[in-house]
């Protein structure tokens, strides 16, 4: 796209931006913050120059090896709408952007930018207990990814997703800050409508012991928590659901769910699985009456992935394969919250 050579209006704002009308009557913004030695200058286009001009701000990931991003944003725009996504930091949970490296005020959805300001990412180290519920069985986390207490939802994931989304008021917000107002809809889920062959050819799944499972880089437990953590297989869920544990319907801190307790010498070990609903488009459905949890395993012969379903109706719990096709459920209820994770050792 060429800039107009006649009657060009140039604006320099805070020494960082050059604005000009382009030949298609859109307003071109050239970011000069990289200095005169920059190899190239980022361009962005808008219908009109922003009211009030621009602010030059910096986003600092605030850990050794983390990145720093310089931006020029509209002075009347909201900071979080312009914030970059943060790096995946294994073993740490992104808390939000703050005005100081330690302490400071957290940036909210209504915060306006301040020219020259630096916003710092704050992190919380993941701390999770694990319990073994039967002899030679895997270890299970006592909380969900993104949660701090056993009854909390934590993050909601589509199958193969490693970022996760939390509920913020009436919106889905990505855990890394990359998206606000996310919709659990078909077009936002790249693993939908794909056979196992397609999933394998695209690198989503790998063969492990004769069974296809999500590749490590697409296993949210490994990506988020690292170490020996992994998503459960369908066999793990079958053992948990039908053979190795007692299930007790209960309410914890106002949230319905199941206390899953080991048997015999493992009867003192338990986890709580809350019914925290599922993501459907922009909404969260059937909170406190149903719960859905993914496994890492796709069905070998159809467009499905294994999961665990909980329901307050008749206090049911079962393992089954949930459809991964558009025609299976147009409201996208198949995009469910994440399951507990088995620890490899």
- Name residue, tokens 């120059």: 49
More confident residue, 261 or 341: 261
pLDDT in the model for residue 72: 84
> Taking Cα atoms as reference points, which of 246, 284, 281, 287 lies closest to residue 267?
246
For residue 176, give the nearest of 230, 223, 131 by alpha carbon.
223
Q: What would the DSSP string read from start to end of 98-129?
A: ESSSSS-PBP-TTPPP-TT-EEEEEEEE----
Work out the percent of the chain whose per-residue pLDDT is above 90: 29
Contact 260, 244 (CB under 8 A): no
Q: What is the number of H-type helices and E-type strands within the chain?
A: 4, 25
pTM of the model: 0.68
- Over residues 310-332, the pLDDT tens digits come to 888 766 777 766 555 443 332 22
Residues 6+ apart with CB under 8 A from 1: 22, 23, 24, 26, 28, 43, 45
Q: Tell which wins on pLDDT, 329 or 85.
A: 85
What pLDDT is attached to residue 24?
A: 42
DSSP 336: B
Collapsing DSSP states into helix, strand and coil, what is residue 69? strand
- For residue 132, count CB atoms less than 10 angstroms from its CB and return exposed for 0-12, middle for 13-18, buried for 19 or more: middle
Q: pLDDT tens digit string along 162-206?
A: 988 988 888 888 888 777 888 888 888 888 888 899 999 999 999
What are phi and psi for residue 214, nearest 5 degrees?
-60, 140
| Six-digit token string for 145 | 């990814």
pLDDT at 243 over 90: yes
Catalogue all structural domains in the chain, each as residue range(s) with its CATH number: 1-49 (no CATH), 53-125 (2.60.40.4270), 130-343 (no CATH)
């Amino acid at each position: 796209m060429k800039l107009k050579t006649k009657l060009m209006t140039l604006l320099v704002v805070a020494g960082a931006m050059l604005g000009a009308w382009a030949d298609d009557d859109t307003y071109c913004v050239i970011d000069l913050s990289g200095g005169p030695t920059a190899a190239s200058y980022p361009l962005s286009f808008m219908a009109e120059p922003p009211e009030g001009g621009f602010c030059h701000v910096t986003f600092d990931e605030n850990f050794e090896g983390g990145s720093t991003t310089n931006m020029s944003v509209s002075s009347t725009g909201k900071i979080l709408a312009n914030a970059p996504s943060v790096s995946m930091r294994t073993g740490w949970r992104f808390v939000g952007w703050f005005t100081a490296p330690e302490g400071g005020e957290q940036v909210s959805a209504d915060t306006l930018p301040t020219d020259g300001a630096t916003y710092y990412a704050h992190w919380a180290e993941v701390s999770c207990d694990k319990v073994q519920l039967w002899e030679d069985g895997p270890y299970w986390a006592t909380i969900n990814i993104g949660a701090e207490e056993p009854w909390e939802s934590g993050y909601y994931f589509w199958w193969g997703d490693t970022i996760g989304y939390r509920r913020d008021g009436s919106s889905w917000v990505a855990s890394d800050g990359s998206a606000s107002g996310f919709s659990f809809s078909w077009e936002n889920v790249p693993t939908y409508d794909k056979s196992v062959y397609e999933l394998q050819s695209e690198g989503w799944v790998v063969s492990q012991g004769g069974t296809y499972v999500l590749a490590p880089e697409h296993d949210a437990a490994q990506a988020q928590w690292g170490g020996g953590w992994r998503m459960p297989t369908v066999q793990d869920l079958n053992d948990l659901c039908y053979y190795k544990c007692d299930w007790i319907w209960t309410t914890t801190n106002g949230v319905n769910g199941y206390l899953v307790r080991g048997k015999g010498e493992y009867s003192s070990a338990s986890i709580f699985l809350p019914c925290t609903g599922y993501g459907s488009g922009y909404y969260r459905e059937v909170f406190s009456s149903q719960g859905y949890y993914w496994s890492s395993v796709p069905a070998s012969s159809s467009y499905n992935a294994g999961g665990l379903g909980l329901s307050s109706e008749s206090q049911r719990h079962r393992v089954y394969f949930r459809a991964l096709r558009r025609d299976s459920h147009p409201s996208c209820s198949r995009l469910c919250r994440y399951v507990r994770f088995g620890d490899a050792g």
